[in-house]
């Protein structure tokens, strides 16, 4: 059996094995299912071609984005469950199983579809432990997908993690690469609380060094991916790399930006952000979620409350507008934050 | 009631227009980098055609992610649709919706929909409006065999039944929800069997045969118009291509199965039927309609390419009827 090691928030310097984010997710699921036989996973197309084993068809899709490939061969169709197209039923069922002895993972193909099963998250997963006076734990993970930029229009492009952060009782993580995806997913499955795991469609093909053995990364902890002294930029999910790109641009102008990768959207690692802002005196949050009542507005509020005296500029943000995601590329390109917008906003804060 | 000659011509024209739209529009959209959201309905043409032949512009339909056929059958202009797929401002949605959200209220088209079974309650609501305002209109809610398992559909069938609403629930059962075979997800043999649970008639027809669809839909629609309440119509059909252009369907179904269904092609079936009937409509007339559809798509692509892209400020338009634009951009550090 592979052993579990505690690891720092960045890949170990000697690590040479590079894998894709999609492979890291797949590896974490397989390793944890091997280690803990109470772990089950269910969702639409997670194997695919369901019920056709007799025709030699198994694992036809391996997930809509191939993140669950191979699981059904190894763990069988009792632990790897393709579902009918019924999210309210299977998300709720996973929550029920999780509160009665399983560790249940359910995949919601795109976060935009959460409307049809939100009640199960809002009124069961999030509240059961509290309402029941602590009698129950809910080790449930909902894997889901976020991200615009693919010409998929308003119902397949949202990044609504803030919606979930708003709900007391749910935890949320937004990995930004293969390394954090693996470590955070292992933690999410082992956690006794319901966790929503947000995979960005634009990160699946990206690679980075990832240890083969199991390791966990703490939920609720951010990491610094680029140290700096002049301005703190906080990125979430793919936006971390947009912030890094902007930071490289700003460096040419003599501005040394620090980039924090938030990683968890509930709990939010305010202290990590505050420590940085107290040194740099400026804050710019780069977020793909919409700006009203969101993670980005929340971080700005917290910094204003707790580091007001340290600030040399107003806490600021680069986000999409308060609109649905437009289809036409001409508009979608304006919608998603890019390095240019981040640089422009940072310059304003520096002047 | 058997369709008269004019109706027959219209049925074929609609089917061949859908076929040509899909065969041309889907790859053209892909070449413009927008293929992620496009689903071809080739193979399924007879279903929207046979159903919508009973509807006027005043009636309503709600559609699905695989909705180009529904749009065309309901009278939406293919040129405008093509512009929408290309993200151009002459699309009915001004380029802001794309393939999965094409809506044309002037044609009673309540939108294709990216949420499976998402448009079903919209059709039920349109039926409610018609009932309250005594408009005599009916509504059709299209959904797939996968959509048949969404909770909202079941709630809607019950509600429409107890309120006796003029709505037809039309299931296009093409055998698969993405890669999942219908028999895996469905607890009964046929979707139509579920009608009994909601006290409405259930029709199960061959969805490759436009006459069968036409006949059953005629009965369901006239019942609804007469105030006798909803019906469930299941048409068994097949999509020839993958779920999207990225899907290879041979990972979950066989070539033999595909060939079996393709041999029962709805356009071909129609053609053979006409010949068997003693050329009520001649092969030349059918060829002529095919050619006209081909030319129409030629024009549609040119029209769409010539249509302007949306202007940057349009990103803020149509979010609300009334809302300050400043509130949509404030704090976002937008470039427009
Ligand atoms: C609520 C919801 N769940 C999942 C999806 C992803 N999805 C899109 S189409 C589809 C399959 C739909 O199958 P069916 O209803 O049979 O329609 P078909 O594609 O066969 O026309 C799925 C699972 C979605 N769009 N909405
Ligand atoms: Mg189907």
Which tokens in the block code for residue A209?
A: 């060094």
What domains appear along chain B, each with residue ranges and CATH number? Answer: 5-329 (3.40.50.970)
Q: Compute, in angstroms, the gap from residue A77 CA to the centroid of ligand 2.
A: 22
Do domains A15-211 and A223-350 share one topology? The answer is: yes
CB contact under 8 A, B332 and A150: no
Beta strands in chain B (DSSP E): 60-62, 139-144, 167-173, 176-177, 180-181, 202-206, 231-236
Share of chain B above pLDDT 70, in %: 100
Q: What confidence tens digit (pLDDT) does each residue in A81-96 have? A: 999 999 999 999 999 9
Helix A21-35 / helix A178-190 crossing angle, nearest 10 deg: 30
Average pLDDT of chain A to the nearest whole number: 97
Euclidean distance between CA atoms A10 and A179, whole angstroms: 8
pTM score? 0.97
Asked whether B115 lines ligand 1 (CB < 6 A), one says: yes
- Using the predicted structure, report yes or no on whether residue A335 has a pLDDT greater than 70: yes
Asked whether B116 lines ligand 1 (CB < 6 A), one says: yes
CB contact under 8 A, B115 and A116: yes
Question: Which residues are paired to B315 by β-bridges?
Answer: none
Ligand nearest, relative to CA of residue B66: 1
Partner B contacted by A155 (CB < 8 A):
yes
Q: Compute, in angstroms, the gap from residue B49 CA to the centroid of ligand 1.
A: 21
Helix B5-31 / helix B283-306 crossing angle, nearest 10 deg: 40
Catalytic option among A23, A32, A45, A156:
A156
Q: What confidence tens digit (pLDDT) does each residue in B63-72 have? A: 999 999 999 9
DSSP-assigned letters across all residues of B127-152: HHHHHHTT----EEEEEETTGGG-HH
pLDDT band, residue B29 (cuts 50/70/90): very high
- Mean pLDDT of all residues in B238-261: 97
Q: What confidence tens digit (pLDDT) does each residue in A206-217 have? A: 999 999 999 999
- Using the predicted structure, report yes or no on whether residue B218 has a pLDDT greater than 70: yes
Q: Is A306 a catalytic residue?
A: no
Pick B149's closest partner by Cβ from A64, A84, A329: A84
Which tokens in the block code for residue B84?
A: 């929408």
Asked whether B66 lines ligand 1 (CB < 6 A), one says: yes
Domain boundaries, chain A: 15-211, 223-350
Which tokens in the block code for residue B98?
A: 């794309």
Ligand 1 atom closest to Cα of residue B115: 26
pLDDT band, residue B214 (cuts 50/70/90): very high
Asked whether B65 lines ligand 1 (CB < 6 A), one says: yes
Asked whether B146 lines ligand 1 (CB < 6 A), one says: yes
Is residue B148 within 8 Å of residue B180, measured between CB atoms? Answer: no
Is residue B139 within 8 Å of residue B62, measured between CB atoms? Answer: yes
- Mean pLDDT of all residues in B98-106: 98
Ligand 1 atom closest to Cα of residue B148: 15
Ligand nearest, relative to CA of residue A111: 1
Cα separations (Å) of A99 from A37, A83, A142, A173, A238? Answer: 16, 20, 14, 21, 32
Euclidean distance between CA atoms B300 and B293, whole angstroms: 10
- Using the predicted structure, report yes or no on whether residue B316 has a pLDDT greater than 90: yes
Catalytic option among A32, A87, A288, A332:
A87
Q: Compute, in angstroms, the gap from residue B143 CA to the centroid of ligand 1.
A: 9
Q: Compute, in angstroms, the gap from residue A64 CA to the centroid of ligand 2.
A: 16
Which tokens in the block code for residue A224?
A: 């610094």
CB contact under 8 A, A328 and B98: yes
Is residue B157 within 8 Å of residue B150, measured between CB atoms? Answer: no
A-chain residues near B183 (CB < 8 A): 51
Euclidean distance between CA atoms B220 and A15, whole angstroms: 66
Euclidean distance between CA atoms A239 and A225, whole angstroms: 12
Which tokens in the block code for residue B74?
A: 């309901």
CATH architecture for residues A223-350: 3-Layer(aba) Sandwich (3.40)
What pLDDT score was predicted for residue A127? 98
Euclidean distance between CA atoms A145 and A266, whole angstroms: 17
Please identify which residue in the block is written with the tokens 């890291």: A24
Is residue A184 within 8 Å of residue A173, measured between CB atoms? Answer: yes
Share of chain A above pLDDT 70, in %: 98
What pLDDT score was predicted for residue A7? 58
At B255, is the secondary structure helix, strand, or coil?
helix
What pLDDT score was predicted for residue B224? 98
Nearest CA in chain A to B88: A328
What pLDDT score was predicted for residue A8? 80
Residue nearest to atom 5 of ligand 1 (CA): B116
Residue nearest to atom 7 of ligand 1 (CA): B116
CB contact under 8 A, B315 and A329: no
Any residues with CB less than 8 A from the CB of A124 and at least 6 apart, and which? Answer: A92, A95, A96
- Using the predicted structure, report yes or no on whether residue A1 has a pLDDT greater than 50: no
Is residue B333 within 8 Å of residue A316, measured between CB atoms? Answer: yes
Pick A60's closest partner by Cβ from B88, B97, B251: B251
CB contact under 8 A, B180 and A50: yes
What value, to the nearest 5°, has the Cα angle with vertex B266 and ends B261 and B268?
95
Which tokens in the block code for residue B180?
A: 């999942």
CA-closest candidate to residue A60, choices B26, B184, B36, B190: B184
Share of chain B above pLDDT 90, in %: 97
Q: Is A281 a catalytic residue?
A: no
Give the gap in angstroms from C-alpha B188 to the nearest C-alpha of chain A.
13
* H-type alpha helices, A200-255: 239-251
Which tokens in the block code for residue A227?
A: 């140290």
What pLDDT score was predicted for residue B44? 99
Question: Which residues are paired to A261 by β-bridges?
Answer: A223, A235
CATH architecture for residues A15-211: 3-Layer(aba) Sandwich (3.40)
CB contact under 8 A, B98 and A151: yes
A-chain residues near B184 (CB < 8 A): 50-52, 82, 84
Average pLDDT of chain B to the nearest whole number: 97
Q: How many CA atoms lie within 13 A of A286 on its CB side?
A: 32
Euclidean distance between CA atoms A121 and A141, whole angstroms: 11
CB contact under 8 A, B33 and A151: yes
Partner B contacted by A317 (CB < 8 A):
yes
What pLDDT score was predicted for residue B36? 79
Q: Compute, in angstroms, the gap from residue B117 CA to the centroid of ligand 1.
A: 8
Q: What confidence tens digit (pLDDT) does each residue in B176-197 have? A: 999 999 999 999 999 999 999 9
At A8, is the secondary structure helix, strand, or coil?
coil
Helix (H) or strand (E) holding B236: strand B231-236
Asked whether A116 lines ligand 1 (CB < 6 A), one says: yes
Q: What ipTM did this prediction achieve?
A: 0.97
- Mean pLDDT of all residues in A196-215: 98
At A145, is the secondary structure helix, strand, or coil?
strand
């Amino acid at each position: 059996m592979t052993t579990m090691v505690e690891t720092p928030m960045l890949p170990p310097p000697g690590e040479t094995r590079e894998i894709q984010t999609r492979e890291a997710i797949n590896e974490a699921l397989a390793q944890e299912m091997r280690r803990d036989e109470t772990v089950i996973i269910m969702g639409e197309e997670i194997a695919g071609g369901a019920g056709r084993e007799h025709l030699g068809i198994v694992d036809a899709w391996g997930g809509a984005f191939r993140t669950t490939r191979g699981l059904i061969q190894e763990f069988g169709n009792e632990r790897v469950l393709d579902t009918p197209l019924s999210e309210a039923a299977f998300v709720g069922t996973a929550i029920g199983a999780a509160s009665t002895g399983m560790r249940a993972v359910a995949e919601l193909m795109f976060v935009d579809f959460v409307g049809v099963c939100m009640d199960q998250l809002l009124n069961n997963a999030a509240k059961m432990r509290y309402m029941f006076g602590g009698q129950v734990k809910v080790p449930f993970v909902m894997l889901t997908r976020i991200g615009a930029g693919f010409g998929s229009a308003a119902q397949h492009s949202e990044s609504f993690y803030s919606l979930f952060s708003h709900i007391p009782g749910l935890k949320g993580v937004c990995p930004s690469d293969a390394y954090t995806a693996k470590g955070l997913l292992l933690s999410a499955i082992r956690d006794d609380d319901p966790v929503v795991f947000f995979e960005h469609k634009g990160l699946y093909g990206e690679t980075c060094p990832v240890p083969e053995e199991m390791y966990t990364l703490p939920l609720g902890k951010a990491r610094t991916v680029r140290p700096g002294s002049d301005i703190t930029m906080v990125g979430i999910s793919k936006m971390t790399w947009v912030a890094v790109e902007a930071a490289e641009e700003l460096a040419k102008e003599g501005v040394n930006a620090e980039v924090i990768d938030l990683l968890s959207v509930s709990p939010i690692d305010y202290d990590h952000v505050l420590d940085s802002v107290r040194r740099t005196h400026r804050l710019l949050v780069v977020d793909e979620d919409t700006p009203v009542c969101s993670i980005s507005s929340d971080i700005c509020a917290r910094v204003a409350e707790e580091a007001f005296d340290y600030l040399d500029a107003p806490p600021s943000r680069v986000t999409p507008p308060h609109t649905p995601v437009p289809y036409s590329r001409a508009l979608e390109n304006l919608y998603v934050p890019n390095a240019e917008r981040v640089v422009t906003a940072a310059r304003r804060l520096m002047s | 009631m058997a369709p008269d000659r004019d109706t027959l011509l219209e049925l074929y024209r609609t089917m061949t227009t859908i076929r040509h739209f899909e065969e041309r529009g889907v790859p053209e959209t892909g070449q413009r980098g927008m293929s992620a959201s496009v689903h071809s309905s080739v193979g399924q043409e007879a279903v929207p055609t046979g159903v919508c032949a009973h509807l006027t512009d005043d009636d309503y339909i709600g559609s699905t992610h695989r909705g180009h056929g529904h749009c065309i059958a309901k009278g939406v202009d293919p040129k405008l649709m093509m512009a929408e797929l290309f993200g151009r401002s002459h699309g009915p949605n001004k380029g802001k919706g794309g393939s999965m959200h094409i809506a044309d209220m002037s044609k009673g088209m309540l939108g294709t929909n990216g949420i499976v079974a998402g448009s079903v309650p919209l059709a039920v609501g349109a039926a409610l409006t018609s009932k309250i305002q005594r408009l005599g209109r009916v509504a059709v809610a299209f959904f797939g065999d996968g959509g048949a398992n969404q909770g909202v559909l079941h709630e809607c069938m019950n509600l429409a039944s107890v309120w006796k609403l003029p709505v037809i629930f039309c299931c296009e059962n093409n055998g698969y929800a993405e890669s999942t075979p219908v028999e895996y997800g469905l607890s009964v043999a046929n979707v139509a069997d579920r009608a009994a649970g909601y006290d409405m008639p259930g029709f199960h027809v061959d969805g490759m045969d436009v006459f069968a669809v036409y006949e059953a839909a005629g009965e369901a629609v006239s019942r609804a118009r007469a105030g006798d309440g909803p019906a469930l119509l299941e048409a068994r059909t097949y999509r020839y291509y993958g779920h999207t252009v990225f899907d290879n369907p041979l990972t979950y179904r066989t070539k033999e199965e595909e060939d079996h269904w393709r041999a029962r092609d709805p356009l071909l079936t129609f053609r053979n039927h006409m010949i068997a009937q003693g050329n009520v409509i001649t092969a030349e007339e059918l060829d002529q309609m095919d050619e006209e559809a081909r030319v129409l798509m030629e024009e549609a692509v040119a029209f769409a390419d010539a249509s302007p892209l949306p202007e940057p400020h349009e990103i803020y338009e149509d979010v609300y009827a009334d809302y300050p634009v400043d509130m949509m951009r404030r704090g976002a550090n937008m470039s427009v």
